[in-house]
Amino acid sequence: MADKLMKFSEAVKKYDPVIGLETHVELSTNTKLFCPAHVEFGGEPNTQLTPVSLGLPGSLPVVNKAAVDYAIKLGLALHCEINEWSQFARKNYFYPDMPRDYQISQYDKPTNGNGYLDVELDDGTIFRVPIERAHIEDDAGKNTHIGGADGRIEGADHSLVDYNRAGVPLIEIVTKPIEGVGARAAEIAGAYMRTLRDIVRALNISHARMEQGNMRADVNVSLRPSPDDPFGTRSETKNVNSFRGIEKTITYEIRRQAARLDEGKEILQETRHWDESTQTTAGGRLKTDADDYRYFPDPDLVMLHITKEHIDEMKAQMPEMPRERRNRLKAEWGLSDLQMRDIINADALDLIEETVKAGAKAAGARKWWLGEIARAANAKEVSLEEMPITPADVAEVEKLIAAGKLNDKLAKKTVAGVLAGEGTPAEVVKKHGYQVVEDTGAIEKAVDDALAANPDVFEKLKSGNMKPMGVIIGAVMKATRGQADAKAVTKIVMAKVKG
C-alpha cells in the first residue's frame, strides 16, 4: 500500500522536522579491529580470518592501534572531546553473520564524545551539525541470499555466509538531533554527509566509497508542530548508501509523516529501509524486546587509555582539512565563490585537483568535469567518480589540445570515446584517426573553394565586415571533416581577404 504523502512545502510549513544521522565509516586499516587478519575488498570467501574473527572458542580480541589512531584523528576533525578512558562493550544479538553473536562496540564510554561539524550549504551559509559521539566497533560478515528474487533476503531459501568482513573496524558517527533544519533538511543532511566523506578521505582513514558500502547511514526523521514542542516519534531508515538516497529519504519521510500526523495517526517507532527502485521508504520492523542488546563492558578487553601526549602526536599528523583546502585551491585556481561551489556540489574537487596534478590547467580540468562528463553522469544517474574516465585521461586530452593535436570538437569526440569504453584518449584518437589537419595546402584549397562558393561573404570580408567569417570556417571544417584548426583557417582567410 502506497504511503500518503503531503506536499513538501506544505509539510515543512506545518511541521518542524528534526533529523539525525548515524553514519558508519569503514576504516581502511591493513588488519581487522581485533585480530591480525589482513583486510581486502573482494577476496575469496572465508580466507581473511583468524580464530578471533571466526569467533572460535577460546579466541580473544586485541585492539588494533591504527584503528584507535584513526578514531582519534576523526575525533579531532569533528572537534570532539577525546575521552582519556574509553571502554569496549558487547552488544548482544543473534545473527548468522555475527561470529560471536555479539558485536564489540562502545556504549557509555565512547572514544569520542560531544563535537560538531560545520557544513557549507549551497548559498554559502554555514550550518553547524552537533555530534553526539564517534565510537569504534567491528563489522559483521556478509550474507548472500540464495533462492529468492534478485538475491534478496525476502523469499530466500537459505543464505551463504562469508565472514571476511567480520571484524573490519568501523567508526559510527552519531549526530545529536539536528534542529532548525526546516525546508533545508535534505540539503543539510547531504552537505553533512559530503563534508564528512571529504574529511574521512582527507584523513586517509577510509576509502569512503558509498557504493562499496565503506560509508552508510541510518537516517532518523521526526516531526513536531513547532520548535518549542518536544521531539516527535522518529523513524529510522537503515543503511542508506548514497547521498541522493539520504536526501530523498529525508524528503520522503517528512512528507509521509506529515500526512500521517495530519490524519491524526501516530508515527510508529520503527526501522524502515530506502527502496531505490520505488523511491520510497518501506516499513521494516517495530522496536521490540529483541532490541535489548544487553550491553555490558567486554570483559575480554580492558580500558582504552588515550593520553594527552598521544592526542598531541595525532594532532601533529592532521592533514589540511577540506575547507582549508577548498579555500587554498580556490585561490590557486583563481575561481569565484560560485565557481568553487559548483565544483563542490558536483563532487568534482578531488577529480579536478588530480587532473591538475596530472598536468592539466585548472580551467580546462573544470570545463571537462563539470561539462561533458557531468552531463553524461547525470544522464546515467551515477557519480562522477563512477564514470569510466580518470583524471589522467582528462589531463591527456588537455595536453593534446595544448599541443595543437586536437581541437575542441575532436577533444569532445575523444572524451566521448573514452566514456564509451573505447580506451585511453590516445587509443581513441588512434582508432578514429582524429587529428587536426596541418596540411596548409589542403586547407588553402578548402578556403578557396569556400570563398568561391560564397562570393557575397567574400565581399563583406574584404570590406572589413568580419561577421560572416563563421560561414567560411564552417564550410572549411565540413570539407576537412572537422580536422582543421579553426585558428589556422582564420589566418588563411585573413591573408586571402587582405591579399
Partner 1 sequence: MARIALTDDEITRLQGELNVIADSINEVQKVAGDDVEPTANPVPLEAYLRPDVAETPLTQAEALAGGPKTEAGMFVAPRIQE
Partner 2 sequence: MTDATELVKLSAAEMAAKIRNKEVSSRELTEAHLAVIEKAEPTIDAFLKVAADSALAEADAFDAKNAKGETEGLPELAGVPIAIKDMIVTKGIETTAASKILEGWVPPYDATVISKIKAAGMPILGKTNLDEFAQGSSTEHSAFKTTKNPWNTEHVPGGSGGGSASAVGAFEAPIALGTDTGGSIRQPGAFTGTVGVKPTYGGVSRFGAIAMASSLDQIGPVSRTVLDAALLHEVIGGHDKRDSTSIPREVPPVVAAAREGLKMDLKGVKVGLIKELGGEGFQPDVEARFNEAVETLKGMGAEVVEISCPHFPAALGAYYIIMPSEVSSNLARYDGMRYGLRVMPPADVPQTAANMMAYTREAGFGDEVKRRIILGTYALSAGYYDAWYGSAQKVRTLIIEDFKKAFEQVDVLVSPTAPTTAFKFGEKTADPLTMYLGDVATIPANMGGVPAMSIPAGLSDEGLPVGFQFFAPQMQDEKMYKPAAALEAALEGKWGGPVWNDLKTPWLDEA
The residue ranges that bind partner 2 (CB under 8 A) are 51, 54-63, 90, 92, 94, 96, 99-102, 159, 161, 163, 292, 294-296, 298-302
Tell me whether residue 36 or residue 371 sits nearer to partner 2 (CB atom): 36
Q: Of partner 2, partner 1, none, which one sits near residue 30, judging by CB under 5 to 8 A according to partner kind?
A: partner 1
- Whether the CB-CB separation of 25 and 214 falls below 8 Å is answered with yes
Q: Of partner 2, partner 1, none, which one sits near residue 55, judging by CB under 5 to 8 A according to partner kind?
A: partner 2
Q: Of partner 2, partner 1, none, which one sits near residue 68, judging by CB under 5 to 8 A according to partner kind?
A: partner 1
Tell me whether residue 147 or residue 474 sits nearer to partner 1 (CB atom): 147
Q: State the Cα–Cα distance between residues 389 and 414, nearest whole angstrom.
A: 11
Tell me whether residue 158 or residue 431 sits nearer to partner 1 (CB atom): 158
**Phi–psi pair at 67, nearest 5 degrees:** -65, -40
Q: Of partner 1, partner 2, none, which one sits near residue 60, judging by CB under 5 to 8 A according to partner kind?
A: partner 2
- Contacts of residue 367, defined as CB under 8 A and 6 or more positions apart, other chains included, come to none
Nearest approach, Cβ of residue 105 and partner 1 (Å): 15
Residues that bind partner 1 in the complex, under the rule CB under 8 A? 29-31, 36-38, 44-51, 54, 56, 62-68, 87, 94-96, 143-145, 147, 153-163, 289-290, 292, 294, 297, 299, 301-305
Tell me whether residue 61 or residue 417 sits nearer to partner 1 (CB atom): 61
Q: Which helix (H) or strand (E) holds 130?
A: strand 126-138
Nearest approach, Cβ of residue 151 and partner 2 (Å): 17
Q: State the Cα–Cα distance between residues 56 and 70, nearest whole angstrom.
A: 28
The number of residues making up the chain comes to 499
Nearest approach, Cβ of residue 113 and partner 2 (Å): 21
Q: State the Cα–Cα distance between residues 389 and 428, nearest whole angstrom.
A: 12
Tell me whether residue 30 or residue 279 sits nearer to partner 1 (CB atom): 30
Cell output for 211? 557504493
Nearest approach, Cβ of residue 66 and partner 1 (Å): 4
Tell me whether residue 163 or residue 333 sits nearer to partner 2 (CB atom): 163
- Contacts of residue 307, defined as CB under 8 A and 6 or more positions apart, other chains included, come to 84
Q: State the Cα–Cα distance between residues 332 and 361, nearest whole angstrom.
A: 11
Q: Of partner 1, partner 2, none, which one sits near residue 90, judging by CB under 5 to 8 A according to partner kind?
A: partner 2
Nearest approach, Cβ of residue 232 and partner 1 (Å): 29
Tell me whether residue 153 or residue 379 sits nearer to partner 1 (CB atom): 153
Q: Of partner 2, partner 1, none, which one sits near residue 144, judging by CB under 5 to 8 A according to partner kind?
A: partner 1
Q: Of partner 1, partner 2, none, which one sits near residue 305, judging by CB under 5 to 8 A according to partner kind?
A: partner 1
Tell me if residue 400 falls in helix, strand or coil.
helix
Give the residue from 129, 252, 113, 248 showing the smallest Cα distance to 179: 129
Q: Of partner 1, partner 2, none, which one sits near residue 162, judging by CB under 5 to 8 A according to partner kind?
A: partner 1
Nearest approach, Cβ of residue 84 and partner 1 (Å): 10
Nearest approach, Cβ of residue 344 and partner 1 (Å): 32
- Whether the CB-CB separation of 82 and 306 falls below 8 Å is answered with yes
Q: Where are the strands (E) in 147-225, listed by range?
A: 158-162, 169-175, 215-224
Cell output for 488? 589556422
Burial 108-136 (b: 16+ CB within 10 A, else e): ebbbbbbbebebbeeeeeebebebbbbbb
Strand partners, 112: 82, 134
